[in-house]
Amino acid sequence: MQNIEVTLYQTPFPHAIVDNFYNEEELELIWEELKFYTKPGKLLDVKDYGGVEGYTSAKAILLDSLYQNRTGNGGLNWRTMSNILTTNRKLFTSGVLDAFAEVDDCCCLANETNNDITKVRYYHNGDAYDPHTDKGFQFLAFSYFYKEPRKFEGGQLYFPKYDYEIPCDNNSMIIFPGWVEHGVREISIKDSDYFDGYGRYAITSFFGCKPKSVNN
């Protein structure tokens, strides 16, 4: 069984970093799907996937829209057709969020989430993401992937209000509250075509506790 080590931080804001979150078998499944999305016409511009225009030029896709949570064709759950949507359930079952919930009072509900969505984003030369918040969800979890040897510079996750930056390490995960302002440094890459997949991939889980309806 994989031993997952979580490093917890209370300053400059509550967050957790997990190195080597996915094992080799899981990484093979994830990369199989990432390579598919890098083909022409698969990833969408920000105006087409429901993002906020003006903050980023990086293309992305919302997996929950692509694999809607419905059954059909004899009861097949479409979400199980996505390697990423299947493997990233590990975030909610591995005990990582139990550890993160202890770092600060504002994180205490992280391990009780009942609502999440997943987005894949690909950054290539010139792509960045301006500082913003994601207050629509209580928490975010970013996982980073890139081909080795690494051909790009930049891509760090940064937090301008805290003058704080987290390196972009392959197969690492960063978890923090959605109210924390964050951005992505511009990617610079040479001798690489967009579709060869040598940019920076991010799988982002937006999650939190959605109030349960009360029947009167």
**Amino acid letter for position 18:** V
Looking at residue 79, its pLDDT comes to: 80
Tokens for 23?
A: 């094992």
Superfamily of domain 7-208: q2cbj1_9rhob like domain (2.60.120.620)
Per-residue pLDDT reduced to its tens digit, 159-175: 999 999 999 999 999 99
Helix (H, G, I), strand (E, B) or coil at 92: helix
Strand (E) or helix (H) holding 27? helix 24-37
Looking at residue 46, its pLDDT comes to: 79
Higher pLDDT, 143 or 190: 143
Flag whether the pTM goes above 0.85. Answer: yes
- Residue 90 pLDDT > 60: yes
- Residue 49 pLDDT > 80: no
Identify which of 144, 141, 61, 137 has the alpha carbon closest to the alpha carbon of residue 94.
141
Looking at residue 216, its pLDDT comes to: 45
Tokens for 50?
A: 């429901």
Q: How confident is the model at residue 214 (pLDDT cuts 50, 70, 90)?
A: very low
